Structure 1
Amino acid sequence: MGANEVEVLTARDVPLGGPRAMTVRRTLPQRSRTLIGAWCFADHYGPDLVAESGGMDVAPHPHTGLQTVSWLFTGEIEHRDSLGTHAYVRPGEINLMTGGHGISHSEVSTPETTVLHGVQLWLALPDAHRHTPRAFQHHAPKPVRVDGAELRVFLGTLAGDTSPVRTFTPLLGAELLLDPGATVTLDTEPAFEHGLLVDEGDIRLDATVLHPTELGYTAPGRTSLTLTNTSPHRARAVLLGGTPFGEEIIMWWNFIARTDAEIRQAREDWMTGDRFGEVHGYPGDRLPAPELPTTPLKARRNPR
């Protein structure tokens, strides 16, 4: 596709987190697009009334070869991991966890949360860094006003604001709030591809109107993006970007690897070893790994 075209990706509903699963809308990965930059996973959930949905209760589970990005619009989530981190995810604050060679963590919405609403995102680590030590970072970006929009840049650089959070490939992540009827033009890195995930309202990207839960993809080559809120009320979206990720990856359950053998070893290590450490303070058992398919897992990359 050309740089001026917009590809619209739609989400599918999936359960998250074992027997007490809440339903999320998954936009990445899908058949037509595995990654946007290093962004390889995008779950979008809420607004959910916790009294009805039960909220989020994801028991300790493992990760390899990736970084997780938690970003909330409403509510609060308690995070515990095998580094010993005990932190909270709150609206407007990024929690980024580096899985690297192996980490485990739990995520539970707090008792005070009545409405839960946000996104959970993953970043694929490039081959040179995918066995990096586990780590945790937190940042609360200050809002930036541009024309009729308010931005919070949680990764990378946009509108003159730069996040201090470390990543291993060039990336962009920002929450955008657009006033009713507002149009904003944002200068962008031409080497980046971008994805605009709409949460609230209708937003026109070029001639394409994106509705809530849809993601508009644009290929590298653009020096700017022009967004218009066509709604009579505020619109919200998350803008993701990065240089195209040139490596093939295998994603299975909570693991990212390069070969079928690596995935099978990671599962075995979770079920029988101590590679991922222990999560202390979660009131329950950790999640068992699902059964692997009998046929070898195949690596995927984006269409050319």
Structure 2
Amino acid sequence: MASGIFLLLDDIAMLADDVAVASKMATKKTAAILGDDLAVNAQKATGFEQSRELAVIWAITKGSLKNKVIILPVAFVLSAVAPALITVILVFGALFLLYEGVEKIEEWLLHKEHHEDKEELLNSTPETILEIEKEKIKSAVLTDFILSVEIVVIALAAVAEKSFGVQAVSTVIVALVATFGVYGFVAMIVRMDNVGFWLIGKGYERSGALLINAMPKVIKTLAFVGTFAMILVGGGIIAHKVEFLHHYFLEGVPAIVNEMLLGLVIGAVVLAVVKVFYMVRGK
């Protein structure tokens, strides 16, 4: 009896070890997209009244959890029944990431600035502010859904050789990190200025001013890093899942450079196609 209990505990320990290793592997594979998710949502969660910032982040977090509840079972079923579709989803997700990344670069190069949202919030009334929040939350949750699909699929693909139990547990862990880890960090970022003002009130002027001045710089840095992370991840997925593209890699150049260049080229093509589509539809 005692030996059976010890064997069971040993099996549980081995399973926990496998899950830990698989979760670490999956998290590494999704780190770039998690960074982009953080950058995108840090931007979307700013610009509100300070008293509403945490409420908005919590609303987006709940929407993100609902997304995971929808995505995870579908991903597990597809992985078991039609694994080829996982590759298709990965490629389409990569194209979306590349489109988003190159579009941001285009905005920076052409110095496009979007002040509409800020002006809308500044000119809003108490009666309309909640409607504006609902629209921004809805937009953030939709973006989260698309990024969550990519995160879950990449995490699942990273542990595809493991048993189904290990796949399921490790992917769920990554999904939860993608929600609570990302949005918890977003909450910390958007409250940096509040902590700064609190420190100033306590007489720590330098430390408080440092946090207040650092907040917009942190958000801009995350946006910059997240943009190129999207392109690198998207280019890497395309490079590994579309076989014939390997023939176009530059010899003697590190794989990361080839993947970045591939991502930039394909992203530019996708952006051009989308622009033409909207022009035709507009006519």
TM-score normalized by structure 2?
0.25
Greater strand share, structure number: 1
User: Larger radius of gyration, structure 1 or 2?
Assistant: 2
Greater helix share, structure number: 2
Which of the pair has the greater relative contact order for Cα pairs under 8 Å at 6+ separation?
2
TM-score normalized by structure 1?
0.24
